[in-house]
Amino acid sequence: MRTRLVVVPAFVLLCSAAIAAADVTGAWSVTITTADGKITGKAVLKQAGDRVTGQIGPAENATIPVEGVLTAKKLTLKTHPQPGRTAAFDSCELTVGEQKMEGTIRGGDVGRGTIDFVRIKP
């Protein structure tokens, strides 16, 4: 019985470390899919704890700020268009993987759709 008590806490600690290890920092290729078609772009994200900030847009010289929160394997991002600029979406919710994030978008220019982030290798 004593061995099981040691194994279970160790297993819980390993699982907790795996969940906490999600890091979305880096460059991502972005594809938004709607009923009207696909939009491609790029995002660069930086993570500090559970807070995520960065830029997203159709090209590196046409980006808008984003910020969000990462909770376990779920990332919620909100766009902050600058005056005179629009955004394809107001917010998105993503399921985070090591090399890919997938989710849905709401609001903005396109309304509803899906969004995929694929990590760009350095």
Digit-coded pLDDT (tens) for 30-83: 999 998 899 999 999 999 999 999 999 998 888 999 999 999 899 999 999 888
Question: Domain for residue 54, yes or no?
Answer: yes
What digits encode the pLDDT tens for the residues 84-102? 888 889 999 999 999 999 9
- Single-letter code of the amino acid located at 33: T
What domain count does the chain have? 1
The predicted structure's pLDDT at residue 32? 95
**92 near 103, Cβ under 8 Å?**
yes
Alpha helices, DSSP H, located in the chain = 2-20
Tokens 């010289």 identify what position? 61
The predicted structure's pLDDT at residue 3? 52
What domain range includes position 106?
A: 23-119
What digits encode the pLDDT tens for the residues 1-27? 555 544 444 444 444 444 455 899 999
Question: Domain for residue 74, yes or no?
Answer: yes
Question: Domain for residue 9, yes or no?
Answer: no
Question: Domain for residue 59, yes or no?
Answer: yes
How buried is 21 (Cβ within 10 angstroms: 0-12 exposed, 13-18 middle, 19+ buried)? Answer: exposed
The predicted structure's pLDDT at residue 12? 41
The predicted structure's pLDDT at residue 44? 97
The predicted structure's pLDDT at residue 120? 96
Tokens 């890091």 identify what position? 23
**Inter-CA distances, 42 with 10, 11, 47, 117, Å:** 39, 37, 17, 8
Question: Domain for residue 13, yes or no?
Answer: no
The predicted structure's pLDDT at residue 18? 41
Count Cβ atoms below 10 Å from residue 111 Cβ, excluding itself.
14
Q: Does the pLDDT at position 104 exceed 70?
A: yes
The predicted structure's pLDDT at residue 95? 97
Question: Domain for residue 96, yes or no?
Answer: yes
* CATH number of domain containing 54: 2.40.128.120
